[in-house]
Structure 1
Amino acid sequence: MSVVNLTVSEDEAGIRLDRYFRRHYPHLTQGALQKLCRTGQIRVEGKRVDASTRLEPGQSVRVPPIPMAAKPARDVPRPLDDKLVREIQRMVVYQDKHLIVLNKPSGLAVQGGPGITRHVDMMLDGLRENPEDPRPRLVHRIDRDTSGLLLLARTPGVAAKLAAAFRGRDVKKTYWAVVVGRPDPLSGEIDQPLARLGAGPGAITVAADRKDEDAQSARTVYEVLDSAARKFSWLGLSPLTGRTHQLRVHCESLGTPILGDPKYGGATAHPSGFTDQLHLHARELDMPHPAGGRLVVSAELPPHMRETFRALGFTPGTTPPPARKGG
């Protein structure tokens, strides 16, 4: 065994050093990696680094002698029922060699959990173009009851780039919601800190005092796009932060809970005459494409929201096709 120098590939741009080693040396423990960094045996471009250092394409990574382990089994697609393959493929609204964008239906969880046996994550092998391709990775998540756009990366390197864009708030997200009542004023920014109470499926998010040590900053820009006799409104919502259930609690804090919300708004959110489903839809993503330029993707409304829009006289217009600009 001897020292080797690895070159960071384009696909590995932005990846953390510990994840880079997990990919190339999966048997190396986190503790051993940190010790090698601490003693200067692992270096990037000849400089000492720590495990959280993010790498850039073309950089040279010095790797000291590392004992080999048994070669892990090849990542092969899980056996997947043809019905699930067709279901996940019908959700695709955009795809290229870097990423995939889905239009997730309301009621389908993104990942498994207590009592959840059917979810997007279990279907992802149905999106591999070839058996040897990496399994697509979730970049972000939306609530089970929320419909709309869900972003996947085809490779770990792309996942790292897109995750960094979300962390840096370079991704513009637009949601549509039908709420009970009409906010006053008709547009503005909700700056209401939130706190999480409890744990597991029963946990809830609540409005919090700024002095509360558990409070987290939460901001949402909103606009009334249409209303029906002040009884119902169609809102455009753009979260500036990404707290759990942020939009649902922020709409409730305006006195206009989202129609059909099973967790927030109480009886007010469930007037008679409407389907008892959450009326919150991830409508648009405007984001930097990992290969350059920006990608804008929109998602059609789910059936229950289309029905409500027709009943209230709201006209959403046509859904524009995906567009990539620049790059």
Structure 2
Amino acid sequence: MSSPQPLQLQVDQSAARLDQWLAQALPQLSRSQLQKLIRQGQILVAGQSVRPSSAVQTGEVVTVYLPAVEPDAPQPETTPLAVVYEDDDLVVINKPAGMVVHPAHGHASGTLVNALLSRYPDLAALSLSDAEATDRPGIVHRLDRDTSGLIMVARTPQALRHLQQQFKARTVEKTYLALVFGRPEAPEGIIEVPLGRDSRFRQKMAPRADGKPSRTHYRVLEDFEPYSLLEVGLETGRTHQIRVHLAWLKCPVVGDTVYGRKKNVLGLKRQFLHAWRLRFQHPRTGETIELEAPLDAHLQAVLGQLRR
């Protein structure tokens, strides 16, 4: 596996110790891990090796070289799945909130891929045919852990390539339901704001002039002052796109503690974002497939509470 690109972080506030500042900027790494990387020369300040105790000043650039890790092949795990559609070429799952799509740092098991490998053992062969997809066999697109709804998985190399081409050509129609704080000024519109990695917190995305073009459509379905239920469509599929775009619109997703408000409301234990509808061409027959996944009981109860 090739080494990942180095992270470039800009210090936004002076700190007495580099390791303390990095612990906030890279919370996925422990302080001892950061100190080890600093001593190994894998973390540089202004291109120079430093000590963990070195001070950092506002505006300095910190370069972090994270070691490449060869992932273990994910193992089958028996977990119930809500199958919305399946045939010999593909399967579409209604993913529950809280389930990570594929194994990653901190989530080696309990993922959708683990469950898929148990129900569809043929996916293991698909992962072997693509060395770059060992940890995500058949996965065509992704959903955030706390986003529920429709996700498509290919079962053959041919279906995988065809579906990936559809996503690249932006012919797949993905529609979401989102409950947000406030109400957009216009009842429907397009958010066209480029997105890129947050310069300080690399696990987050942010509006950036030098980011990738990103385009989101929205339409207000219901008004529950001070909340609104939106239908949201994606033209592009950037990481966290809907959440960041709606936060930029000053209408963050209810329950989104990363880009929205920290306080839980309406009894929500998750973000109110659901991949509701999916429309695409069948990779073998060319038939138009249109699918819909209803909101789970928890989200339906929240709407019922607001409608009373």
Alignment partner, residue 152 of structure 1: 153
Cα–Cα, structure 1 residues 231 and 155, in superposed 2: closer, same or farther, change >3 Å? same
Q: Which piece of structure 1 moves more, 121-130 or 179-188? A: 121-130
**Distance in 1, Cα, partners of 2:171 & 2:212:** 20
Matched, 1:279 2:275: no
Q: Kindly indicate whether residue 105 of structure 2 is the aligned counterpart of residue 114 of structure 1.
A: yes
Q: Does 1:296 align with 2:290?
A: yes
- The C-alpha deviation readout for 1:18-63, integer Å capped at 9, x for no partner, is xxxxxxxxxxxxxxxxxxxxxxxxxxxxxxxxxxxxxxxxxxxxxx
Mapped contact 1:260–1:278 kept (Cα < 8 A): yes
**TM (normalized to structure 1)?**
0.64
Root mean square deviation, CA, Å? 2.4
- 3-state secondary structure, aligned to 2:167: helix
How far does residue 198 in structure 1 lie from its aligned partner after superposition?
Answer: 5.5
Cα distance in structure 2, aligned partners of 1:240 and 1:153: 21
Instruction: Tell me how far apart the structure 1 counterparts of residues 267 and 184 of structure 2 sit (CA, whole Å).
Output: 20
1:116-135 alignment to 2 at 5 Å?
Answer: 116=107, 117-128=109-120
Q: Which amino acid is 1:309 matched to? A: L
Q: Which has the greater radius of gyration?
A: 1
Task: Output the amino acid matched with 1:208.
Answer: R
Q: Equivalent residue for 1:308? A: 302
Q: 1:203 to 1:236 in 2, by over 3 A?
A: same
Question: Which segments of 5 or more consecutive residues in structure 1 lack a partner in the other structure?
Answer: 1-76, 315-327
Shift in alpha-carbon separation, 1:154–1:119, aligned structure 2, 3 A: same
Q: 1:250 pairs with 245, 249, 252, which one?
A: 245
Map of 1:238 onto structure 2: 233
Q: Report the CA distance between 1:131 and its aligned residue.
A: 9.8
How far did 1:273 drift? 3.4
Instruction: Report the AA paired with residue 124 of structure 1.
Output: L
TM-aligned CA deviation for residue 252 of structure 1:
0.6
SS at match of 2:191: strand
8 Å CA contact 2:180–2:251 kept in 1: the answer is: yes
* Deviation readout 1:110-164 (Å, 9 max, x if unpaired): 0111211310111222232779985761111111111001101110111000000
Which one-letter code corresponds to 2:296 in the other structure?
P
Which of the residues 95, 110, 124 maps onto 1:104? 95
CA distance in 2, matches of 1:130, 1:257: 40
Corresponding residue number in structure 1 for 2:63: none
Percent sequence identity is 35
Equivalent AA in structure 1 for residue 120 of structure 2: R
Question: Is contact 1:106–1:302 with CA below 8 Å preserved after alignment?
Answer: no
Please name the residue that 1:221 is paired with: 217
Amino acid at match of 1:95: E
How many corresponding residue pairs? 225
Q: Is the 8 A contact 1:128 1:134 kept in 2?
A: no
Kindly indicate whether the alpha-carbon contact (under 8 Å) linking 2:254 and 2:271 is maintained by their aligned counterparts in 1: yes
Distance in 1 (CA, whole Å) between partners of 2:288 and 2:228 is: 31
Q: Which runs of 5+ in 2 are unaligned?
A: 1-72, 128-136
Query: How does 1:65-214 map onto structure 2 within 5 Å?
Result: 80-81=76-77, 83-84=78-79, 87-88=80-81, 91-116=82-107, 117-128=109-120, 137-197=138-198, 203-209=203-209, 212=210
Q: Quick one: structure 1 residues 132 and 108, their matched pair in 2 at CA, closer, same or farther if it must change by over 3 Å?
A: closer
